[in-house]
Amino acid sequence: MTRFTPADLTELITRVFEASQVAPHIARTVAEALVRAEADGISSHGVARVPPYAEQAKCGKVDGFAEPSVERTAAAVLDVDSRIGFAFPAIRLGLDTAAKIVGETGIVAIGIKHSHHFGVAGHHVEDAANKGLVAIAFSNTPAAIAPWGGKTALYGTNPIAFACPRTGGRAPLVIDLSVSTVARGKVVLAAKSGEAIPDDWALDAGGRPTTDAKAALAGSMAPLGGTGAGAKGAALGLMIELLCGALTGSNFGYQGSSFFEPTGAPPSIGHLILVMDPRAFGGGTGFTARAEEMFTAILDQEGTRLPGERRLQRRAASIDGIEIPDALAVELTERARG
């Protein structure tokens, strides 16, 4: 493993993207998002994404120079167009614009269309919660989950994330999950390393549970609930396809191409983020104090913890350095040289 400071790793990845047909300010925005994921221990959404992102930018599957635009189509609705560019600049534009008007409307819906990989969904809602807002986010992804009872993937793994502010200077509560049993990125990493996967993560092309990661990638991911009880997870996947594909005017999962391959048309998927000003609800009776009552009741029970605690521990530890595989470090260095 090769160790980097977060700043040095961000600088290296920025140079990789600049050498791969990405505008400098967009390159840094994307690099910061991937290093943030790595710092939180979410390697499936971290530095391992750099090579496929870079290849897609070089071939034009994602436009590394695309500047997102935003239109306020209703009092509390923002229509953000990623313009086939990276998702992170579009998400930042939408959240920044929403923060300016949510005090007026109480709630803002941000629809983001023609976009790319959503990254760590929890980070986007966490950013909103750091501004005192409550947020929930959805994204669809290229097809990876079959409808319940079927064999052909139509829905993406489709993350859902929620965050809310806390009192006493504490970090926001963040809940981040996908409608698959695990993120597909974990199966991709297992396939690359030749490792077996648990038999409740995925199904092969014949719809049978498999421990072979490569067979899983040729088949479909198990919906939330596993290979034997995933009907509810599949239904959530359908819901998010409608919210992020149909509602935003983007591709459904089965219409979007891979985030990992440089071939095919742009994924052009969608995201939906809802941000709420808690002061506009419940007569302004103090959301954060009420939330802390719930958290206290949870932690009063032995063996419990709040979601995200391990992620915050890993984030704190990353200040001393982030380790990535030697081969990946070498590849990034070579790519940065162009």
CA–CA dist 44, 33 (Å, integer)? 13
CA distance 270 to 241: 9
Joined tokens for residue 125: 């809602």
pLDDT at 228: 67
Dihedral pair phi/psi, residue 73, rounded to 5°: -85, -15
Determine how many CB atoms are found less than 10 A away from the CB of residue 313. Answer: 12
Please name the CATH architecture into which domain 68-181+222-307 falls: 2-Layer Sandwich (3.30)
Sheet holding 134-139, edge to edge: 69-74, 77-81, 107-115, 269-276, 134-139, 159-164, 173-178
d(CA 197, CA 183): 12
Q: Where are the domains of the chain?
A: 1-59+308-338, 68-181+222-307
Q: In terms of C-beta density within 10 A (0-12 exposed, 13-18 middle, 19 or more buried), how is residue 309 classed?
A: exposed
pLDDT of residue 283: 77
Amino acid letter, residue 107: I
What pLDDT is attached to residue 250?
98
CATH number, domain 1-59+308-338: 1.10.1530.10
Residue type, 321: G
Instruction: Read off the pTM.
Output: 0.93
CA–CA distance, 110 with 126 (Å, rounded to integer)? 15
> 240: helix, coil or strand?
helix
Contact 34, 46 (CB under 8 A): yes
Residue in the structure block whose two tokens are 């959805």: 138
Q: Which own/partner contact pairs does 283-287 have at CB distance under 8 Å and 24+ positions apart?
A: 287/134, 287/164
Amino acid in the structure at residue 244: C
* pLDDT mean by block of 10 residues, the chain; 338 residues: 96 98 98 98 94 97 98 98 98 98 98 98 98 98 92 93 96 95 83 90 89 92 79 94 98 95 95 97 87 97 96 94 96 95
Indicate the helix (H) or strand (E) that contains 108: strand 107-115
Q: What is the pLDDT of residue 138?
A: 98
Mention every residue, 6+ apart, whose C-beta is less than 8 A from residue 54.
Answer: 16, 17, 19, 20, 22, 335
Distance, CA of 61 to chain centre = 19
